Every structure is written in C-alpha cells, then in structure tokens.
Chain A
C-alpha cells in the first residue's frame, strides 16, 4: 500500500468513528430528552415521601393486587400475540387469497382508533348486550379478567404481525427450497430454517406487546368495570392515586411498574441475543 492509500484508509477510519460518534450522540440525546427526562422526573417524585412512604404505597394490598393482575395478563397477551401474530404474518406474506390486501391494510387500525372507541366497541361486542352467542348464551366476558386480556389483545394486535412481516418478506426462500430438495419435511424446514430467522422479529413484537399491555388504560377502563382488587389494573390504580392528590404514591407505583417492565424487556433482549448467537461468528 502506498502512503497515499494508507492515509486515505486512516482518514476513512477516522470519519467512520466520527460518524459513529455523531449518530450515537444524536440517538442518545434524543432518547435522553424524550424518554430519560420524564422517567427521571417520575423517579424523583416517587422519592418525595421517603423510602417509607414509597414502600407503603407500593406494598399496599390494592397496589399489589393491581400489579399482579397487570403483569400476568400482559404476559399472557404478549405470548398469545407471539403465536397468533406470527401465524397471521405468515398467512399475509406466504399465502394468497382474495381480499388479502384489504386485510393487510386494516391491521394497524387498532392504533388509529382512540381508546374510548376501542373500549366502547369491545363492550358492545363482548358485553351484556353482545350480538354473539355461544351455545345459546350471550358471549358476555365484560367485567371479568378475560375482558382485560381481550382489550389488551385489541391494542397490541399489530405488533408481532408487523415486526415479523418485514423479516419474512426479506427471507431468502432459496434456503427453504434447498432444504426441501435435500428431503426435509415442512416442519423441519420451518423449525430449522425459517423459525430461527423470524425469531428476532417475533421477540421484538412480543416485547412491544408486553410493554403496551402493561401501560394500557383507556380501552380497558370501561369493559373491565374497574373493581378494586378484582379487575383493576395498575394504570387505573395509579390514576386513582393521582385523583386522590397522592402524586408521589402514583409515581412510586409507576416507577415499580417501569422497573419490572424494563427488567422483562432486558430479558427478552437477552433471549434474542442468545438465540441469534450463531449469526455473530
């Protein structure tokens, strides 16, 4: 290599590092301003009444009941989404049927509908005046814990579908064809070739679905009847604390919920890191 080429190489490396630093700097600044600041304010507020006050609110029976309910329903919904969303994405990408474009177009609509409307329609469809009947009885799940899962499913539906779709679209079908020509069955092809590649997408969507379910408020609040200790989720409990003038208590419960969500999100990230270790030679 001549000295001129070596210099160009060095300059390029430096500009690479500079552009890395710049983009990283921008990303962290944005994250700090938009995400970290509000969360810091919440953490600070939650300490307003000292460790004792924090613990009193967070360990109160009502807070604990709401937390347990929120967590198990959100986990259930995230897992359901993982399975059903993947199947839906598969059908949308690999299958073809009349009206597919229309179905694809409406997947995101749960987001565009205000949560009041989501709650009202779920109440109308699955509440006491439901037009649907199962075995002669009205399909009425309102005011039960099932209604919580239902409302959460509605608002998280697009997640796994949309994170798996792009991956499936980019997936090179040659590998699958090669496997089949070597005698692999459908199931083996899926398990060994397709699944490991879509897994990061699935896990991404599952993480999003879990986070969203944990924070859901508007669509849940009508159909669940919001009975404390029975069908009241953490987001409504936090609201009741704010309404009662206990900002610090509300912030405390919010912070606990955030910490748990953060932990679970980190775990999902770790699972994905482990599951894709083969890609990093």
Chain B
C-alpha cells in the first residue's frame, strides 16, 4: 500500500520535472544549407537573429558548398530546414523533388534574399582598357570565366553577356554570335567561380567574369583586383526557401523574415551583397551603384530560368554546348 503511493508520487514528480524542463528551453536546431560564399555573412547574421525574440533559443547547424552540390545533397537526404542557394534553378530542382513548395517564389521579393551583379575583374591599372562587353571580343584579350556546365553560377556570366547584346538591340542570332566570339577569347574555364578567381590571381587572363560580391570579398581579404561594372549587366538574384520537410517551419520562416529586415539587409550589404530591400539599397548607392542597363533574367523575355536552362544549357543540344563544340574545334 505504502509502496504504491510512493510510486505514484515518484511518477507525478517525474512528469512535473519533465514538463518544467521542456518549457524552459525552446531548443530548436535549424539546419541551414547554403552555397559557399555567404558564409561570412551568415556567421554575423545568425547571432543577430538569436538576439531577437523569435530567434531566442534557436541554434543552427550550417553547411556551405557549391550551390549545385548542395541541391543534390538535399535531394539525396541531407537534412535541411532552410536552403540558401546561388540561383533559382537549384531551388527549382528541390521543388521537382517534392522538397520545396512550388509557391516559394511568391514570398516577399520573389523568394530572393540578396542580389549581385556580373562584373569584369581586371588587372591593376586596367592596361587593356576593358570597359564594356565589346572589349571582351577584341583580339588579344584573354578572358577567364568559370565553365557554365560545371558551375551553375557561371550561367549568370553567359546570360549577362547574351542579355547585354539583346539590350543593345541585337537579335537572338547576333547575340549568339557574340557568345561564340567571346568564348573564342576564353583561355580558362575553371570548374568554379573561386577557382577562376584563383586562376586570374595566378596571372592568367586580362579580364575575369565574376560576381560583384565575390570581387568585393576577395578585395576585403587583400587578394582582389579592381573591377569594372559594365553599363549593361545582369542582376544576380540569390534565392532562399524553407523546406516542406522541415520540422521547425515557424522558426525557419521567422529566420527568413529576419533576413529581409533592414538590419539584416545592412549586414548583407556590408558583406558585399546588394540588398533586395529597396530602402536599404538606397543607403548604399555609393558602394553599389546602379547601372543604367542592368536587367534581370525575367526581363529578357526568354521565359525565365526554366526555359533558359533548357535552351542554353542542355548538355547535348543547348546553345552553349554548340558554342563549346565550335570553339573546341571538334567536328560534329
């Protein structure tokens, strides 16, 4: 009789203790899977988020690698609550795999969290006077770029080049001819943007097609070169999305909302990214001058990334596959 009462008391005591412990800490761990360059930015942003009320008690596990690699890893089962990738098609891959809601683009800012631009990195003093796209196809100009088939990010370079020609009024065929001339001047097609920067650092090429945020980052680490923003260039838009399979959707969405607040956007700006928040962008016009001819992938009238991927970057029949073949001198 006494034993049973003691047991009952013990059970109640244990239940109380457990519920108290559960209420004290939120103890949510969010898994952020991102592409390689915003590591520094998120190292600052995560503590900032944790100081806010929705971020209190939220811890993060982080993974940074090439955007395409990360998309494939998440598809293969890498647990993630939030993916922050370098271009929309990588997120669309996850939509196709049923891991991200197809409506992700309907978030604020069309699902994007930062912007950047395609720029020309040149040697000190710009000896070959490279200012615009026409300078890249001059004879004797060596161009370095990442390979658009091994680096998803390098597709921004190709579309910037193509789009700039269309903006000048050239036809589709003329723009493709430009791409052919451009790639005939390409002397190195490294597997990633970081590698192409390294190649340029090592002395190869007169101009490097790069992204503004990476050029700024390299400069901040004393390994950069001056860069020129051409009059016409593409606006690089970096997407972010919460996964359907996340166990912590409220906290994950809170993080995304935080990233678009002015404070967070300023942190991104300090790390070299153009803010999507227009008000904050106006504060940084000196660091991030707007270019008169800048355009987005959607403004090219080609049907957005979905159609562009197929038309330009299909490995067998895409425009770029044909151009690489012609440049390489192969028959067939």
Q: Are A and B subunits of one complex?
A: yes
Interface residues in B186-201 by Cβ distance below 8 A to A read 186-191, 195, 198-199
Contact B328 A230 (CB under 8 A): yes
Residue numbers in B under 8 Å from A221 (CB-CB): 190-191, 195
Select B202's contact among A60, A128, A227, beta carbons within 8 Å: A128
Closest to B328 in A: A229
Select B199's contact among A60, A225, A228, beta carbons within 8 Å: A225
Interface residues in B158-213 by Cβ distance below 8 A to A read 186-191, 195, 198-199, 202-204
Query: Would you call A212 an interface residue if the criterion is a C-beta within 8 Å of the partner chain's C-beta atoms?
Result: no
Contact B325 A61 (CB under 8 A): yes
Question: Given the known A-B contacts A62-B330, A228-B147, are A128 and B189 also in contact in the complex, defined by CB atoms under 8 Å?
Answer: no
Contact A229 B195 (CB under 8 A): no
A155, B151: Cα distance in complex, Å: 25
Contact B195 A240 (CB under 8 A): no
Residue numbers in B under 8 Å from A54 (CB-CB): none
Query: Would you call B56 an interface residue if the criterion is a C-beta within 8 Å of the partner chain's C-beta atoms?
Result: no
Contact A129 B188 (CB under 8 A): no
Query: Would you call B68 an interface residue if the criterion is a C-beta within 8 Å of the partner chain's C-beta atoms?
Result: yes
Residue numbers in B under 8 Å from A241 (CB-CB): 149, 315
Contact B332 A61 (CB under 8 A): yes
Residue numbers in B under 8 Å from A236 (CB-CB): 150, 191
> A46-72 toward B: CB 8 Å interface, digit per residue (1/0)?
000000000011001110010000000
Contact A226 B188 (CB under 8 A): yes
| Listed residue (B72, B186, B324) with the most chain A CB atoms within 10 angstroms of its CB | B324
Residue numbers in A under 8 Å from B150 (CB-CB): 226, 236, 239-240, 243
Residue numbers in B under 8 Å from A242 (CB-CB): 72
Closest to A124 in B: B202
Closest to A229 in B: B328
Interface residues in B290-332 by Cβ distance below 8 A to A read 313-316, 321, 324-325, 327-332
Contact B325 A123 (CB under 8 A): no
Query: Would you call B38 an interface residue if the criterion is a C-beta within 8 Å of the partner chain's C-beta atoms?
Result: no
Select A243's contact among B151, B188, B316, beta carbons within 8 Å: B151
Q: How many A-B residue pairs have CB under 8 A?
A: 93
Query: Would you call B152 an interface residue if the criterion is a C-beta within 8 Å of the partner chain's C-beta atoms?
Result: yes
Select B188's contact among A62, A227, A239, A244, beta carbons within 8 Å: A227
Interface residues in B45-99 by Cβ distance below 8 A to A read 68, 72, 93
Contact A127 B324 (CB under 8 A): no
Closest to B313 in A: A244
Contact A61 B93 (CB under 8 A): no
| Listed residue (A60, A142, A240, A244) with the most chain B CB atoms within 10 angstroms of its CB | A244
Contact A142 B147 (CB under 8 A): no
Contact A243 B331 (CB under 8 A): no
Question: For chain B, which range describes its interface: under 10, 10 to 19, 20 to 34, or 35 or more residues?
Answer: 20 to 34
Interface residues in A116-132 by Cβ distance below 8 A to B read 120, 123-124, 127-129
Select A222's contact among B147, B195, B321, B332, beta carbons within 8 Å: B195
Contact A123 B198 (CB under 8 A): yes
A240, B150: Cα distance in complex, Å: 4
Question: Given the known A-B contacts A227-B328, A229-B329, are A222 and B189 also in contact in the complex, defined by CB atoms under 8 Å?
Answer: no
A241, B313: Cα distance in complex, Å: 11
Contact A128 B203 (CB under 8 A): yes
A243, B330: Cα distance in complex, Å: 22
Residue numbers in B under 8 Å from A159 (CB-CB): none
A229, B202: Cα distance in complex, Å: 23
Select B315's contact among A124, A229, A246, beta carbons within 8 Å: A246
Question: Given the known A-B contacts A243-B151, A245-B93, are A222 and B330 also in contact in the complex, defined by CB atoms under 8 Å?
Answer: no
Question: Given the known A-B contacts A124-B202, A127-B202, A225-B199, are A62 and B72 also in contact in the complex, defined by CB atoms under 8 Å?
Answer: no
Select B204's contact among A128, A230, A243, A244, beta carbons within 8 Å: A128
Query: Would you call A143 an interface residue if the criterion is a C-beta within 8 Å of the partner chain's C-beta atoms?
Result: yes
Contact A61 B72 (CB under 8 A): no
Closest to A120 in B: B198
Query: Would you call A249 an interface residue if the criterion is a C-beta within 8 Å of the partner chain's C-beta atoms?
Result: yes
| Listed residue (A60, A123, A227, A246) with the most chain B CB atoms within 10 angstroms of its CB | A227
Contact A127 B187 (CB under 8 A): no
Residue numbers in A under 8 Å from B199 (CB-CB): 123, 222, 225
> A15-58 toward B: CB 8 Å interface, digit per residue (1/0)?
00000000000000000000000000000000000000000110
Closest to B186 in A: A227
A97, B83: Cα distance in complex, Å: 58
Closest to B203 in A: A128
> B133-167 toward A: CB 8 Å interface, digit per residue (1/0)?
00000000000000101111000000000000000
Interface residues in A152-182 by Cβ distance below 8 A to B read none
Contact A226 B316 (CB under 8 A): no
Contact A228 B324 (CB under 8 A): yes
Nearest CB of chain A from residue B211's CB, rounded to whole Å: 18
Contact B316 A225 (CB under 8 A): no
Select A226's contact among B72, B152, B191, beta carbons within 8 Å: B191
Closest to B318 in A: A244
Q: A228-B327, A240-B150 given. 8 additional CB < 8 A pairs?
A: A61-B330, A124-B202, A127-B204, A142-B202, A221-B190, A222-B198, A227-B187, A239-B150
Q: List 7 A-B contacts (CB under 8 A).
A: A62-B325, A129-B202, A225-B187, A225-B204, A226-B150, A228-B147, A239-B191
Instruction: Rank and list the top 4 A-B pairs by shortest CB-CB distance, nearest first.
Output: A229-B328, A128-B203, A225-B188, A240-B149
Please give the residue numbers on chain A whose beta carbons come within 8 Å of chain B beta carbons, in ascending order.
56-57, 60-62, 65, 120, 123-124, 127-129, 142-143, 221-222, 225-230, 236, 239-246, 249
